Amino acid sequence: MKFMGHSSGVVGVACASATVFAVALLAGAERAVAQTPLGSAFTYQGELTDGGIPVPGPVDLTFRLYDAATLGNLIGTDTVLGLPTDGRFTVTLDYGVGAFNGDRRWLEIDVGLTTLSPRQEITVAPYALQTRGLFVNNLLNVGIGTTSPAQKLHVADGNILVTGSSPRIALAASNNSSATIVGLNDGSFGSQFSFSTNTPGTGVGIERIRVTGLGNVGIGTPSPGFPLQMGSGAHVTVGGVWTNASSVALKENFAPVEPREILARVADLPIRRWNYKAEDDGIKHIGPTAEDFHAAFAVGQDDAHIGTVDADGVALAAIQGLNQLIREKDSEIQELRGQVRFMADRLAALEALVDQLVSPSDGGAE
């Protein structure tokens, strides 16, 4: 009995489709993939002859998948019973998604109780050659360099390179919200990195973070001039100093404060030594709690945080109150000193008068 057979290339087509999906994902495509998974089955066609005469059906065919032309390991078995044939047949075989991992495979075929020899190697369609190292499981997870992808795209032991004048990766959710990562060339300091999200309810992308070629990070600004800079102008200097944005142009609703009242509240504010629960017990800090600070001064966004600008403002107002108090005390001291000098002068005059009264006069009695 003679056999000739070949696979239809459906396996190759499945892999090629996975390649298109992976490239689309890396390029930031936001359209959905096909709703019906391709599965792991493939079509196999063959021709059975005996002495040059087609073998009539029906026939029972058993297809065993091996990893070697002889001997080797059995990967899976698929059986088709009562197959009608005029010598030619077409069957659908399925050994699961893990059967084809990029290594060579051979089919051993039984016709009834007869095992045909040699085993038939399963070859791929020419375009499927470009999918070597790429694997798609039954969840449509794509693996590059791995046959067990844990996510929709899983790259093992390698890097992802997206090129172009402004290469980007877009991450889109089912509710049309998205985030975009873009590589930029600033024309001066080399590459830059931009991260954008769309405005809720509008779908309009807004840049949120920019990293320049110098390593400066901007949040809300595309041109940070410091290691870290906010859109408000607040920033961290090269020396590591946090600098608040405090221009009068950024402020409104000015109102005076009573420095002496602030000073009194600072005097009553509990100041203790403590450590953060997230830090080691040996790392100590000194200061008030946000709850006490907010209760005393009613500033800041809530009673769980203390803004540095608020702590500085309270301290400066208290210093002004203390300065007022010192000036008042100085004035009182100067007044008391004048009174003391006056009393000292009067005392000196009285002492002189007393001396004249008690001292014997010239030519006094013998």
| Domain around 366 | 255-366
In this prediction, residue 33 has a pLDDT band, given cuts at 50, 70 and 90, of very low
pLDDT score of 174: 62
pLDDT score of 15: 29
pLDDT score of 137: 80
In this prediction, residue 31 has a pLDDT band, given cuts at 50, 70 and 90, of very low
Residues 20 and 133 in one domain: yes
pLDDT score of 164: 75
Residues 135 and 65 in one domain: yes
Residues 21 and 114 in one domain: yes
For residue 314, the surrounding DSSP H or E stretch is helix 308-358
Question: In this structure, is residue 230 part of a structural domain?
Answer: yes
Residues 8 and 132 in one domain: yes
In this prediction, residue 10 has a pLDDT band, given cuts at 50, 70 and 90, of very low
In this prediction, residue 20 has a pLDDT band, given cuts at 50, 70 and 90, of very low
In this prediction, residue 38 has a pLDDT band, given cuts at 50, 70 and 90, of low
Question: In this structure, is residue 331 part of a structural domain?
Answer: yes
Q: What is the mean pLDDT of residues 146-159?
A: 87
Alpha carbons within 13 angstroms on the beta-carbon side of residue 343 total: 6
Number of structural domains found in the chain: 3
Residues 147 and 180 in one domain: no
pLDDT score of 336: 96
Q: What is the mean pLDDT of residues 85-100?
A: 86
Residues 69 and 135 in one domain: yes
pLDDT above 70: percentage of residues in the chain? 82
pLDDT score of 227: 96
Question: In this structure, is residue 160 part of a structural domain?
Answer: no
Burial grade of 277 (CB within 10 A; 0-12, 13-18, 19 or more): exposed
CB neighbour list of residue 318: distance below 8 Å, 6 or more residues apart: 259, 262, 263, 266
Provide the angle, in degrees to the nearest 10, between the axes of the packed helices 259-268 and 308-358.
100
Q: In this predicted model, what pLDDT tens digit does every residue of 321-349 receive, in sequence order?
A: 999 999 999 999 999 999 999 999 999 99
Question: Are the C-beta atoms of 161 and 19 separated by less than 8 Å?
Answer: no
Q: What is the mean pLDDT of residues 293-297?
A: 97
Terminal-to-terminal C-alpha distance of the chain: 175
Task: Tell whether the model's pLDDT for residue 205 goes beyond 90.
Answer: no
Task: Tell whether the model's pLDDT for residue 199 goes beyond 90.
Answer: no
Q: What is the mean pLDDT of residues 232-256?
A: 95
Domain boundary among 119, 154, 189: 154
**Peptide bond before residue 58 is cis, with ω within 30 degrees of 0:** yes
Task: Tell whether the model's pLDDT for residue 129 goes beyond 60.
Answer: no
Q: Which of 147-151, 171-175, 316-320, 330-334 has the lowest mean pLDDT?
A: 171-175
User: When comparing pLDDT for 26 and 84, which is higher?
Assistant: 84
Q: In this predicted model, what pLDDT tens digit does every residue of 46-58 receive, in sequence order?
A: 888 888 889 888 9
Task: Tell whether the model's pLDDT for residue 68 goes beyond 70.
Answer: yes
Question: In this structure, is residue 268 part of a structural domain?
Answer: yes
Question: In this structure, is residue 229 part of a structural domain?
Answer: yes
Residues 26 and 132 in one domain: yes
Task: Tell whether the model's pLDDT for residue 106 goes beyond 70.
Answer: yes
Q: Which of 104-113, 116-125, 305-314 has the lowest mean pLDDT?
A: 116-125
Mean of pLDDT over the chain? 83
- Predicted TM-score (pTM) of the model is 0.57
Residues 362 and 276 in one domain: yes
